Structure 1
Amino acid sequence: MIGYYVHHQGSGHVRRAAAVARRTQHDVVGLGSGPRPPEWDGAWVALPRDDDPPVTDPEGADVTAGGVLHWVPRHHPGLRARHRVIADWIEEERPALVVVDVSVEVTLLVRLCGVPVVVGAMPGDRTDRPHRLAYDVAEALLAPWPAQAHPDNGWPQAWTDKTWHVGGISALDLGAGDDPGGMPSRAAGAGASGPRDVLVLWGTGGDDPDQGGYAEAQRATPGWRWTFRGGRLPAADDLAAELRTADVVVCHAGQGSVADVALLRRPAVVLAQPRPHAEQEATVRAVARMGIAATGVGWPSAQEWPGLLEEALATGGAGWQRWGGDGALAAAAHLDGLADRFSLEVTPPPQGSTEGPA
């Protein structure tokens, strides 16, 4: 059995975990805040929240334990209950390994229980003390991007050596025999009749651009028809179909959205939102360096939009093949192999042996 811990911030973690779990040969049990999310097909362990009740004085609660960890507020009942549920589940189920996407504290808890951990790697600056601790103890780092994406991330060689670069992990289910390349979009200056289509694909982990920004972008691009999805906006009934028919997709630089666009190889404008450790800025730099899409930081001004959309069309979507969006199968294969390795029964020491720590 494989355990899969899923962070509750945003929708990307659970979508990525579900995509991988569906492709593993081992049983996978999800662990995360609250009831089982609709994306998750298998067993689920509901965890108490570690931020309920809210921490009103983070400094007084020493939530980082002096900068060693990210979130361990003193005497917090939710945190204590959360960790007890995880430890009890490990004792009862004896998983071969646990994937943690993402939490430094859960990574350490699982490893302290003697269970191997695979940590979901994140782009951006992860050389702070808590991330170093988690990445150091991990058996492997699961990176949902290609190996050439972040050559300047400052990682020590020991991390790089144990990283699985599987490419983007998209949660889209295209069906057997479906062509991931999708429908070709119209080239820049092609002069096709009717407006061209822009699909704005936004996430749930941050703030939406204000409605004024949407309106200004539309007014500045009269030859384009805009559709907005994600965040507080209406969800798509068939996201894959909308992605296929869009001439340009505008998305934030979260790993899930980028993987969805990459899987269908759509011409795109990829925009970095503010995130801890500058993770989306790192992804935007990687996409720009690889020449895959038009990019920006924040929501562009009205006058920038015509040029960005034309740049996306001119760049096309073929370059996304170098990023990949079907990394779930590769990730599942890695996890199955590691689970097989750690599922081998460990021979107990002879009776009366004093082997091992006191």
Structure 2
Amino acid sequence: MYGSHTEMMQTFKIWTYKEGDIPLMHNGPMKSIYSAEGHFIEEMERNGNPLAAKHPDEAHAFFIPISVAKIVHYLFTPAEAYGFLERMQTIFEDYIDIISQRYPYWNRSNGADHFFVSCHDWGPIVSRNNPKLFENLIRVLCNANTSEGFIPMRDVSMTEINGPYNSIPNVSGGQSPHNRSILAFFAGGNHGVVRNKLFQHWGSNEDNDIQVYTYLQENQNYTELLSGSKYCLCPSGYEVASARITEAIYVGCIPVIIKNQYVLPYSDVLDWSQFSVQVPVTKIPDLKRILEDIPFSKYLEMQKRVLEVQKHFTVHIPAENFDVFHMILHSVWLRRINIRLLKF
């Protein structure tokens, strides 16, 4: 990957369309679970970004700077829920109509060298009701669910990151792997089929090895519990996307991924089997046995690799080589180099 990253940095140029106004365009959330969306938009439009094309004729790919999270925040009201998703898609369709009339780039590739980024659960929906218009558009999504139309050969799975309200997320080694006394840990709401099954089997907290909570007590610290666990459980909630994978990686805890139809981020270049455990939903009752059967020597190897891949999930302002911003663009680049444009 490192060689191809160097090649990308030397050759790849992206044009960000200037059309549209904030807050729905050129702006995204910098905090909360949608923060990856906002950080990406800000980095693409940052002065001095070495990957930004100075003129669209120089570009190999074109970024549509629309924020689904901002559309939902500013335009969605529960009283008008019916028809909102169609209105949200109309915003995208109107934007594409404008850029396709003003420039030749969308039409020459039928959108195949264009992409947008969304960490909101509704990100995949904007292209659902007009599949012909969006059939080639590269969708960079946190909610990378193949059962909801995510296409791994075309679309990009992006990390969900829970940006804190006082700074960018901290990354550390956490506790020494020899000092982690909890076998597996999870804390979060009991919603969705997968979590319901997790709580059904492990939510009683009678087993100190596998600790599963809905809400922590006042004397319990979430980050400390993650740091003191060998494995961190990452089940799906209402959707497959979850910030818990990155939260685990940030403190050196091996993610245990319990999801159906989920395409893991950056799996074009990262071998997740080397630093995570993937457990089928049907095997939730066997969690303890599965994790205890992993030899401690293998655990140490995986934990070491978690620390090695931390840089690929880290947020920097401005972006740094091999960080999460470049991982997203590297995935876009891999899909772009396989596109043959209709004409120049």
Normalization by structure 1: what TM-score?
0.48
- More helix, by proportion: 2
Structure with the greater alpha carbon radius of gyration: 1
TM-score (norm 2): 0.49
Q: Could you say which structure has the higher strand fraction?
A: 1
